[in-house]
């Protein structure tokens, strides 16, 4: 008889990742990777810095700076907060998981408007949380007023908001986030802003001064194109970070990632220009989808959620043309999601889509 795991894990569902095929084939085939919302703009100065740093033995032999001092200072400076309000992690996924582990007790309720980023489900369930899904219907707009009215008496311990939302693309107004924090003072409100650089007006960093139950997670994986380096952080009241720091393992945040993060924060001009292009391409593609009669959500991020009559066939056709998009049909009936990178990639995607539509 194999040793049985903690009963909580027996029924736990793993997060469904996108197929990893591009890593197996990219050296031999042209791959247009539009399935995981990664940024694709790695400026030359980033590559030069990486090459220089990796010629130092310390980058291999020493443990990294576990306190990530330079990076934390650079982030605090760029966000206009104190270093006491920033805690770094090897990716925002680890930040989310750590928040769940520290704040959730067994059986405590987690309110989650869906569709949303599903990795959180696994983190919350593995911490013992009881997941309560709040279903949004197309066109997927989030209303704080009705959320508060419907769930105020539910006594959640944690609320998970994603703005801009993945995969729906909507943003939650700052005043709505503040109202939710105030309406649920006994809950930790996690506001996942992985995509906020594509919609800077949606930033809620200033709210941490008033809301000591708000934890904002952010990442370098999207607008800063460092998904492979694993770099994310929490911005929150120090009281929250003090608790999460107890289980944070600073050894896991590699020194190369830390230094590249600092470098990118110092020299943002090229990245900001690239972000503007992504936004332009997204809006152009959205117009093209409208012209083709393809239903899709308005997006404030670097992706578009759209609907096809036969999503499995569409996925296979895209793949046959070297274009990888994400299957979202379990969360949204017939839903697929395409990442926005370059205009050229969007045109390649559109060419296949036109064939599918005219079929
Ligand atoms: C909403 C959201 N949060 C977090 C993440 C994970 O980001 P990271 O690469 O920092 O772990 C993703 C990745 O797709 C995401 O969509």
Q: Which residues contact 186 (CB under 8 A, 6 or more apart)?
A: 155, 157, 213
Which residue of 92, 122, 299, 340 sits with most ligand 1 atoms within 8 Å of its CB, as the best mutation to test the pocket?
92
Say what the pLDDT of residue 105 is.
96
Say what the pLDDT of residue 342 is.
97
Q: Read off the pLDDT of residues 83-131 as tens digits, 9 standing for 90 and up.
A: 999 999 999 999 999 999 999 999 999 999 999 999 999 999 999 999 9
Asked if CATH classification 3.40.50.300 holds for the domain at 7-43+269-357, the reply, yes or no, is: no
pLDDT at 166 over 90: yes
CA of 111 to the centre of ligand 1 (A): 19
Question: Taking residues 25-46, what's their average pLDDT?
Answer: 94
Q: Which residues line ligand 1 (CB under 6 A)?
A: 37, 91-93, 117, 162, 166, 192, 194, 219, 221, 227, 232
Task: Quickly name the fold that domain 56-266 has.
Answer: 3.40.640
**Residue ranges per domain, the chain?**
7-43+269-357, 56-266
Nearest CA to ligand 1 atom 12: 194
**Angle of the 269-292 helix axis to the 343-357 helix axis, nearest 10:** 10
Say what the pLDDT of residue 359 is.
83
Q: Read off the pLDDT of residues 134-160 as tens digits, 9 standing for 90 and up.
A: 999 888 989 999 999 999 999 999 999
Grade residue 8 by pLDDT with cuts at 50, 70 and 90.
confident
CA distance 276 to 270: 10
Grade residue 174 by pLDDT with cuts at 50, 70 and 90.
very high
Least confident of 26-35, 65-74, 231-240: 26-35
CA of 260 to the centre of ligand 1 (A): 18
CA of 1 to the centre of ligand 1 (A): 37
pLDDT at 1 over 80: no
Nearest CA to ligand 1 atom 7: 92
Name the pTM for this structure.
0.97
User: In a 10 Å sphere around its CB, with 0-12 CB exposed, 13-18 middle and 19+ buried, how is residue 213 labelled?
Assistant: buried
CA distance 38 to 115: 20
Q: Read off the pLDDT of residues 259-299 as tens digits, 9 standing for 90 and up.
A: 999 999 999 999 999 999 999 999 999 999 999 999 999 99
Say what the pLDDT of residue 158 is.
98
Least confident of 2-6, 71-75, 241-245, 302-306: 2-6
């Amino acid at each position: 008889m194999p040793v049985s795991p903690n009963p909580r894990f027996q029924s736990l569902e793993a997060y469904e990742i996108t197929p990893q095929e591009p890593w197996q084939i990219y050296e031999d085939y042209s791959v247009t990777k539009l399935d995981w919302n990664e940024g694709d703009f790695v400026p030359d100065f980033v590559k030069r810095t990486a090459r220089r740093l990796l010629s130092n033995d310390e980058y291999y032999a020493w443990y990294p700076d576990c306190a990530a001092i330079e990076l934390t200072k650079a982030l605090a400076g760029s966000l206009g907060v104190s270093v006491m309000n920033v805690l770094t992690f090897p990716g925002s996924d680890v930040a989310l998981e750590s928040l769940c582990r520290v704040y959730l007790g067994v059986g405590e309720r987690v309110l989650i408007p869906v569709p949303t980023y599903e990795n959180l489900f696994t983190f919350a369930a593995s911490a013992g949380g009881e997941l309560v899904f709040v279903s949004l219907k197309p066109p997927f707009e989030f209303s704080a007023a009705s959320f508060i009215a419907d769930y105020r008496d539910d006594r959640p311990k944690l609320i998970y908001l994603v703005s801009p939302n993945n995969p729906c693309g909507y943003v939650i107004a700052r005043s709505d986030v503040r109202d939710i924090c105030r309406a649920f003072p006994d809950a930790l409100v996690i506001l996942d802003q992985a995509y906020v650089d594509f919609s800077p007006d949606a930033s809620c960093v200033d709210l941490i001064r008033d809301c000591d139950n708000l934890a904002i997670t952010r990442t370098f994986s999207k607008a800063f194109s460092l998904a492979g380096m694993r770099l994310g952080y929490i911005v929150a009241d120090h009281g929250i970070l003090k608790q999460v720091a107890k289980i944070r393992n600073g050894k896991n945040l590699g020194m190369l990632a830390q230094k590249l993060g600092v470098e990118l924060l110092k020299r943002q001009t090229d990245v900001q220009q690239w972000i503007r292009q992504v936004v332009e391409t997204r809006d152009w593609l959205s117009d093209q989808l409208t012209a083709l009669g393809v239903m899709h959500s308005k997006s404030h991020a670097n992706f578009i959620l759209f609907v096809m009559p036969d999503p499995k066939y569409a996925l296979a056709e895209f793949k046959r043309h070297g274009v990888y998009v994400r299957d979202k049909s379990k969360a949204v009936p017939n839903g697929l999601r395409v990442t926005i990178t370059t205009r050229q990639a969007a045109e390649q995607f559109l060419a296949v889509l036109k064939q599918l539509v005219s079929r």
